[in-house]
Structure 1
Amino acid sequence: MIPEYYTIAQVADILGISKETLRRWDKNGKLIPQRNDSNQYRMYHRSQLTQFEEAQLLFNSDWEKELAIKPTKDYKLVELFAGAGGLAIGMEKAGFETVLLNELDKHACQTLRNNRPQWNVIQGDISQIDFKPYYGQIDIVTGGFPCQAFSYAGHKRGFEDARGTLFFEFARAIKEIQPKVFLAENVRGLLNHDNGRTLETIKGIIDELGYFLVEPRVLKAIFYQVPQKRERLFLVAIRKDLAKKVIFKWPSPYQRIMTVKDALKKGALYNCDVPKSQGMKYPKRKIEILSQVPEGGYWRDLPDELQREYMMKSYFLGGGKTGIARRLAWNEPSLTLTCSPAQKQTERCHPEETRPLTVREYARIQTFPDDWLFSGPMGAQYKQIGNAVPINLAYAVGRSLIRLLNDLSF
């Protein structure tokens, strides 16, 4: 159900702008919040937001229809750089049959094996895997290849220029398997990496492999039932002999923004409060300082003497440094999770308690199911979760890919 009123924080998230920009709009009359009759807070009515394209997409979403998308036949999937299974779980929920997963990290591989004993998990260096036995038998290859710089050196040899990088290995798998479709995901920074040259090289290689690349898109996880401000770049490519038969449609957004409360408390996302689990601890002095940061606040909300103590030399440097000493807010999405919940530059303190998020709290913000258990020492578990694609985002993209393959089957 679409909410009638939206807070400043929610509108900022929907429109992709800062709260400060909204406050300026309030002052200059561009967009003025109203009094909400039920609680007297100044909020924005839905009708005020229809002028913005981002809000129109939200209000006119086909999310409910897309939930009904199911495969019309068995679609086989190979996943590379699988990590702890964020993308794989989403693809499984969408209806794909996972034939092979490759991952280098031993703890992530153990996580995959423990949770899905039936999955064929190959641990090791992707460069040592021969994909030729899967030629013509796989519908889709997926994976989040780590982004490495390519050596250009003026050669412009396309596929060969990428040799030695992990994208080359991803491309080699495509070349040997020849799936109907492939999905690659990466950080949004790939868009502008090396002034755009890295992505241009990737586009050239995809064309050389015989695939039509749908225009790459950055998807914001908050629009896909994920309570986290995480962004990922997705590349979808269709084999050229099939590409003219279909049009790929990106997933529609969910009709409201999920929050930290949705993640950690019983409600729309989970049928119980977050289970107890292990978690990192803060040192005594850090607890004393962070205990004075209000919900949703950060280091600038501390008294000046504590700002100076906590920030040290950084106190005198420019920039907002808004991740430092950051406490999450119950009624907003989490900031992007990193591989460690207690790094000073990217603090993710619990909204009420003065401590880092636990392993299970981390997992819930990434929308992992509670029964998906992580292997390895605590630091390795945080790393696996922090590196994952949020499950609900992967599920939404997976439904769009199922729809594409269904269309190809006619």
Structure 2
Amino acid sequence: MEKKTLRHLELFAGIGGFRKAIDLYSNDNNIISKCVGFSENDKFAIKTYKSNFDTSSEVEIGDIKDFTCDVANIKSLPDFDLLTGGFPCQPFSMMGKQKGLDDSRGNIFYNIIDILLVKKPKYVLLENVRNIKSHDKGRTYKEIVRSLEDDAGYKVFSDIFNTSDFGLPQNRRRVFFFAIRKDIFKNPIVFESDVIKDANVHLKKSTSLETYKNVLDKLLEERVDEKYYLSERIKPTILSNGTKNFKSKSEINQLIARPLTATMVKMHRACQDNYYSDEFLKHPNPIEYLEKDIPKEVQAKHRIRKLTPLEALKLQGFDDSFYLKATKAGVSNHQLYKQAGNAVSVNTVYSIIHHLFEKNIIKL
């Protein structure tokens, strides 16, 4: 029996989270995964991407705004079944100025529509920060759905997915949009995080995904370089609950990590980033250790470290081999932190793709 082929285009590729998930799913289910092209501007992300994927026969789109300016460029793309992409989230993030679709980066969303209007793939899977649903009193979200449905001709479904529900111990909530071309949309579709999460409990046992119960489950390294440990000077700042203008609870040793950020290399307070002490990691019973109420002044005397780039990538579903290929290609730790913080979680995408195939929603 001839293998079926899933042809896909990865936009705003970063280090290839969507592609990694599709490759893993395809390999597990006797499908050929064929990426016809990808877009990415960051030269360091491209280096990591190319060190892990063979892109020699693919269209390297580069700057999507420049590429879509000429419709001939879009027409030259090989046909594909699925368009994926985590379009820039800064315009919608709670951390930014939240200009949304008025922001030049936000306008890049419409370049997706440009491609859909010409190539008309059957399916679309997009990701963004959860704040996009409430941004500008919901108007940004409604405009995204309107553009996909009314302008491009798709039926759109969406929900918020938490990475921690899919075998990766990181509280990372993101909105995923799934769109199916209206002319092939026949039956009602269930695209709900809870449904896909429940199915994922059984899925993890029969896939090549890397999964972890918590950060202690073969994720955090036992020994790391001294450079990852915090200095005596910075520990009080990291552990601080803030000032009168900024108050929040700073805690270290989280079993389920906080959401990774693209700026984690700079080190924020422990209410924003992830830090772990040797006292916790090397304790005979780390769970029991967490039940102790240890004062901040005592914690400040402990040996505390940040995540390593490898650990950050593993929290997003990438394996040791992925990390090693990137470092061998000369990608710095600084860039790897940024890339991990910007990445889409591999396991979440895998679970979504599995659901769409299992329910016969995606047909090849």
Give the TM bin, normalised by the shorter chain: 0.7 to 0.9
In 2, distance between residues paired with 1:384 and 1:107? 9
2:277–2:305: 8 Å Cα contact kept in structure 1?
no
Per the alignment, residue 204 of structure 1 pairs with 146
2:317 to 361, 367, 371: 367
Is the aligned partner of 1:89 residue 2:37?
no
Secondary structure of the 2:357 match is: helix
**In 2: Cα distance, 1:121 partner to 1:380 partner:** 24
Taking the aligned partners of 1:111 and 1:133, their CA distance within structure 2 comes to: 26
Partner of 1:124: 62
Per the alignment, residue 105 of structure 1 pairs with 42
Does residue 399 (structure 1) correspond to residue 341 (structure 2)? The answer is no
Question: Which residue number corresponds to residue 303 of structure 1?
Answer: none
Residue 299 of structure 2 is matched in structure 1 by none
Q: Secondary structure at the match of 1:284?
A: coil
- The alpha carbon displacement at 1:367 in A equals 1.9
2:140 maps to 1:234: no
Letter aligned with residue 205 of structure 1: S
Is 1:252 equivalent to 2:197 in the alignment? yes
Which residue pairs with 2:101 in the alignment?
150
Contact 1:279 1:357 in 2 (8 A): no
Match for residue 382 of structure 1?
Answer: 337
Counterpart of 1:111, as a letter, is T
Structure 2 unmatched runs, 5+: 27-32, 68-72, 92-99, 205-211, 279-302
Matches within 5 A, 1:208-219: 208-214=151-157, 216-219=158-161
- Shifted more, 122-131 versus 198-207: the winner is 122-131
Report the counterpart of residue 349 of structure 1 in structure 2.
275
- Give, as a single letter, the amino acid of the residue that structure 2 aligns with 1:150: L
Q: How many Å apart are 1:150 and its aligned residue? A: 2.4
1:343 positional shift: 2.0
Separation of aligned partners in 1, 2:333 and 2:226: 8
Aligned length, in residue pairs: 296
Please say if residues 17 and 344 of structure 2, whose CA atoms lie closer than 8 Å, have aligned partners that are also in contact.
Answer: yes
Specify the alignment match of 1:66 in structure 2.
none
- TM (norm. structure 2) is 0.73
CA–CA separation in structure 2 for the residues paired with 1:128 and 1:115: 26
Three-state SS of the structure 2 residue aligned to 1:346 is: coil
2: CA distance, partners of 1:79 / 1:278: 38
Structure 1 pair 241/274, CA: closer, same or farther in 2 (3 Å)? Answer: farther
Q: Which residue matches 2:135?
A: 193
Per-residue deviation, 1:213:
0.7
For 1:48, the equivalent position in structure 2 comes to none
Does residue 75 (structure 1) correspond to residue 13 (structure 2)? The answer is: no
**Residue by residue, what CA displacement relative to the aligned partner does 1:86-145 show, whole Å, maximum 9, x if unpaired?**
22211211213222111110001111111112463626211122221236x210000011
Greater CA radius of gyration, 1 or 2?
1
Q: Which of the residues 231, 250, 266 maps onto 1:283?
A: 231
Among all aligned residue pairs of Structure 1 and Structure 2, give the percentage whose two residues are the same amino acid.
27
The structure-2 alpha-carbon separation of the partners of 1:164 and 1:369, relative to structure 1 and needing over 3 Å to count, comes to closer
8 A contact 1:225–1:392 mirrored in 2: yes
Change (3 A) 1:77 1:347: same
Cα shift at 1:354: 0.8
Change (3 A) 1:142 1:262: same
The offset of 1:197, in angstroms, is 0.5
How far off its partner does 1:199 sit? 0.8
Structure 1 residue 264: Cα displacement: 1.9
Cα 1:163–1:334, aligned 2, differ >3 Å: closer, same or farther?
closer
- The range that moved more, 278-287 or 183-192, is 278-287
Specify the alignment match of 2:252 in structure 1: 327
TM-superposed deviation, 1:249: 4.5
What's the RMSD between the two structures over aligned residues?
3.0
SS in structure 2 at match of 1:146: coil
Distance verdict in 2 for CA 1:407–1:355, change over 3 Å: closer
Distance 2:174 2:5 in 1: 27
When structure 1 is superposed on structure 2, of 76-85 and 143-152 the one drifting more is 143-152
**Deviation at residue 405 of structure 1 after TM alignment:** 6.0
TM-score by length of 1: 0.65
1:131-142 mapped onto 2 (5 Å cutoff): 131-134=74-77, 137-142=79-84
Maintained 8 Å contact 2:356/2:362: no
